[in-house]
A and B are shown apart, each in its own frame.
Chain A
Amino acid sequence: MSLLKVTGLTKKFGKFTALNGVNLEVNAGEVLGFIGPNGAGKSTTIRVLLGILKATDGEVKLFDMDAWQDAVDIHKRVAYVPGDVNLWPNLTGGEVIDLFIKLNGTGNKSKREELIAKFDLDPSKKCRTYSKGNRQKVALIAAFSSDADLFILDEPTSGLDPLMEKVFQECVLEVKRQGKSVLLSSHILSEVEKLCDRVSIIRQGRIIESGTLSELRHLTRTQMLVDTKRPITDLHDLNGVHAIEGSEHGVAFQVDTAEMDAVIRHISPFGITRLECAPPTLEDLFMRHYEGEKDTGGVR
């Protein structure tokens, strides 16, 4: 069952098209990674989901309700953490957390205390004195203290230190265990790899890739380092081999995952003495799409 379904979402600001036919789906109990470079349209999409911006075209449904029309009913079941958390300078963190929990409609006092301790936040300080990371903590504590069914998190860890990132990841995994859903927008790929079941990649207002991580890995390259008794010949002529570099330890190159078998067959007769493989990362995938942009010379 899908909690969130976006079909053909287009959003124009005047003549500028910010989103162009975006499709997204988050199912119950699923964590969807929503990744893309800055300015790709992640935050705009999320603002449409929250009924703050109105879709120019397309259908945006959360819990089978319309994001714009039924915003208040939808928000009773949604917890949102913005990427840039602006708070009221003269209220304390504790006051803001209580206010947010109350306005969410549902919330849990003991959960609040537990999370304040986990995230190591001093709730008696005024928001004026908080750093970016601390302001994000305030929003995260309020969100994870609520009994929401869908968590919409917009780059929630951009100001957190690695220790706090880990706490955040535990929180996401815990709500996932409870069968809740998360839409996690991010450009930190390691985080997405750890937490997400599926990934949608957005660039220039379009979804360019969508699928489970293993599906997407077919599109990635594996980094290899090979040393052989005799020098490898004809490596250049093989399909799917890129970025060949010779070094004193051997030859380093990238292989399209789909061509792996043919490449290994080609090199094994040369007598392999050393073979190192780095698994494909989302980072590579990401970089390849950037390369794609360069290759086409920026033609849109």
Chain B
Amino acid sequence: MAGNHLAKTAFLSKFIFRLDRLRIPIWVLSLTFFTIIVPVALEGLYSSEQERDGMAQTMANPAMTAMTGPADLSNYTIGVMTAHQMLLMTAVVTGLMSILLVTRHTRADEEEGRLEMLRSLTVGRLSYLNASLLVVSAACIGLALINGFGLYALGIESMDLEGSLLYGAALGATGLFFAGVTAVFAQASDSSRGTIGYSISFLLLSYLFRAITDISNESLSWLSPLAWVTKAEVYDSNNWRPIILMAAAAMVLFAAANYLNAIRDLDRGFLPSRPGKKYASRFLQSPIGLALRLQRTGIISWAIGMFVLGASYGSVLGDLESFFADNDAMKKLLKPTEGLTLVEQFIPMLMIVISLLATVPPVMAMNKLRGEEKKERVVHLLSRAVSRSRLLGSYFVISVLNGLLMISLAALGLWSAGDAVVEGGLSFGMIFEAALSYYPAMLVMISLAVFLTGFLPRFTGFIWLYVLYSFVVLYLGGLFQFSDWVGSLSPFGHVPQTPIEEFSVFPLLLLCLIAGGLAIAGLIGFNRREIE
């Protein structure tokens, strides 16, 4: 009987691997790449023990423990440092990989009716679930081995073979575990969105629970599977038990998913899907309300993300002095200025990164209009009593406010965390002035997106190249020693870098004028052109 339920599993595994023959290698290789480059970079940055101890001091605060988990800071070798700063984050991303891959070949295929077609063939009831779990498991094991041997191959003194293999195994086991979690949620929920939503919530809750308990009660943090990753103490005591526990838990989850799959009907889930609203709220009944509603989840996630980003930058400001004192490579990034503290000199560089990242969500919000057009959904609005100006205007207003919200939240996060850790506190006004100086440059980017939407709708994606250009030129400009004109090609290159530079209104006004001109031109173009 069991054989019948699993008929053609091997064949389906090959089929799924064929479907994902690019997707899986890209995941595995990029995860490996980011794992391998870190110890190399760290070794360059912290070659002496003195520098490493400086780093250890920087990490010795609750905010960092909450972010990266605990570590033995008294023995802060390159290996321990790598594991401490990278392993947990990489494990979270590996979990995400498993969630997306498993959902894709369980509930998503079922929802789209592809599983129904397969099940009508000589394929067992449990074959497809197990085939997808097999493929993802193979990906996780591959990831574990490539990372393990790859790290060892770097030949860094503090990174021995056992530790390296454990590092890889920790990643692989996390992948297996979240594959199991997703497989269970794929049975419970009746949509792929639900499956991804529940699984990612579980991942984030595990992370949050670990963050809180790592500070308050470390033994309680055993309840979070993500804490098991840090408890392996890779490159330190090399504790395999938590990783074995993780793999065993994954197998239990696989079995549970199989059981649940066996007792349910196709297209059904165990969690009831809530019926939606029968009527639209008053809020929804306008183009701007609709646009906001469609972007709601994205805006909230980005808002939280920007705040956390600001806060995590803020939390390292306290130890900046000791961090920079012994570090030559980092000194190159900063031009020393008389009469300013290191923190104040550091702020403009942070603000470039923060403002460019804060530019991403509003530009996405603007490009969403073009996305709606491509999906043939703007026709519903334009064939009714909605003018093109009103439609474009709705997206523009949302995008402009979105940008303001994002940069403000990042600044607020930076200030509130920084104020707590920097001796003597941080000036709220100084941070906000530095942050908001970049807002006109963000407006230029948003308006450029409007312009492309109006005149070159096929090329709206090109705005991202410009954002990337700005990032490379301005953030890394100090290292590469570009000429000034290279930076001045980006609107972000014209922002006065307060508090290092004197604040001046003129370039900001000019940026606002350019933004306004681009937006108006885009509006005219959008009114003149044809809708696809």
Contact = CB atoms under 8 A, between A and B. Distances in A.
Contact of A103 (B279, B287, B293, B530): B287
A103 B381 contact: yes
Interface string B350-390: 00000000000000000000000001110111111111000
A21 interface: no
Contact of A98 (B279, B387, B530): B279
Contacts of A90: 193, 294
A240 interface: no
A274 B387 CA distance: 64
Contact of B191 (A82, A95, A128): A128
B339 interface: no
B385 A104 contact: yes
29 contacts: A50-B379, A52-B382, A52-B531, A53-B530, A53-B531, A71-B382, A75-B382, A80-B383, A84-B376, A86-B375, A86-B377, A88-B294, A90-B294, A91-B276, A94-B278, A96-B280, A98-B279, A98-B280, A98-B285, A99-B284, A103-B381, A103-B384, A105-B384, A123-B279, A124-B275, A125-B275, A126-B276, A128-B193, A139-B380
B377 A88 contact: yes
Contacts of A99: 280, 284-285, 290
A88 B372 CA distance: 9
A76 B382 CA distance: 11
Interface of A: 50-54, 71-72, 75-76, 78, 80, 82, 84, 86-88, 90-92, 94-100, 102-105, 123-126, 128-129, 139
Contacts of B279: 94-95, 98, 123
Nearest to B528: A54
Contacts of B381: 103
B277 A92 contact: yes
Contacts of B201: none
Q: Which interface residue of A51, A87, A102 has the most chain B CB atoms within 10 A?
A: A102
Nearest to A75: B385
A278 B513 CA distance: 73
Interface in B270-302: 275-281, 284-287, 290, 293-294
Contacts of A75: 382-386
Closest CB pairs A-B (n = 3)? A98-B280, A92-B276, A102-B285
A94 B281 CA distance: 10
A100 to B, nearest CB: 7
A95 B375 contact: no
B384 A92 contact: no
A139 B379 CA distance: 12
Contacts of B278: 92, 94, 123-124
Interface of B: 191, 193, 275-281, 284-287, 290, 293-294, 375-377, 379-387, 530-531
Given A52-B530, A86-B376, A95 B294 contact: no
Contacts of A54: 530
Given A98-B285, A102-B286, A52 B379 contact: yes
Nearest to A125: B276
Nearest to B278: A94
B387 A71 contact: yes
A97 B365 CA distance: 24
Contacts of A103: 285-287, 380-381, 384-386
Contacts of B294: 88, 90
Contacts of A125: 275-276
Contacts of A84: 376
Contacts of A100: 380, 384
Contacts of B191: 128-129
B387 A72 contact: yes
Nearest to A52: B531
Given A82-B380, A94-B280, 15 more contacts: A50-B379, A52-B531, A53-B531, A75-B383, A80-B384, A82-B379, A90-B294, A91-B280, A94-B277, A95-B276, A95-B280, A98-B279, A99-B290, A125-B276, A126-B276
Contact of A91 (B286, B287, B293, B531): B293
Contacts of B276: 91-92, 94-95, 124-126
A104 B280 contact: no
A259 to B, nearest CB: 46
Contacts of B530: 52-54
A41 B385 CA distance: 25
A135 B380 CA distance: 13
A87 B275 contact: no
B277 A95 contact: yes
A242 B277 CA distance: 60
Q: Which interface residue of B380, B382, B387, B531 has the most chain A CB atoms within 10 A?
A: B380
A80 B469 CA distance: 44
Contacts of B375: 86
Contacts of B277: 92, 94-95, 124
Nearest to A129: B191
B368 to A, nearest CB: 12
Nearest to A105: B385
Nearest to A80: B383
B187 to A, nearest CB: 18
Contacts of A50: 379, 382-383
Q: Which interface residue of B193, B280, B284, B294 has the most chain A CB atoms within 10 A?
A: B280
Nearest to B280: A98
A86 B381 CA distance: 12
Contacts of B376: 82, 84, 86
Q: Which interface residue of B277, B286, B384, B386 has the most chain A CB atoms within 10 A?
A: B384
A52 B380 CA distance: 11
A54 B375 CA distance: 20
Contacts of A94: 276-280
Q: Which interface residue of A76, A84, A87, A124 has the most chain B CB atoms within 10 A?
A: A124
Q: Which interface residue of A53, A71, A125 has the most chain B CB atoms within 10 A?
A: A71
A54 B290 CA distance: 26
A53 B531 CA distance: 6
Contacts of A128: 191, 193
Nearest to A109: B279
A103 B288 CA distance: 12
Nearest to A103: B384
A31 to B, nearest CB: 20
B192 to A, nearest CB: 9
B199 to A, nearest CB: 18
A180 to B, nearest CB: 17
Nearest to B376: A86
Contacts of B382: 50-52, 71, 75
Q: Which interface residue of A52, A76, A84 has the most chain B CB atoms within 10 A?
A: A52
B455 to A, nearest CB: 15
B262 to A, nearest CB: 25
A104 B293 CA distance: 19
A126 B194 CA distance: 13
A125 B275 CA distance: 6
A136 to B, nearest CB: 13
A96 B382 CA distance: 15
Nearest to B190: A129
A117 to B, nearest CB: 12
Nearest to B389: A72
Contacts of A88: 290, 294, 377
B292 to A, nearest CB: 12
A197 B294 CA distance: 42
Contacts of A95: 276-277, 279-281, 284
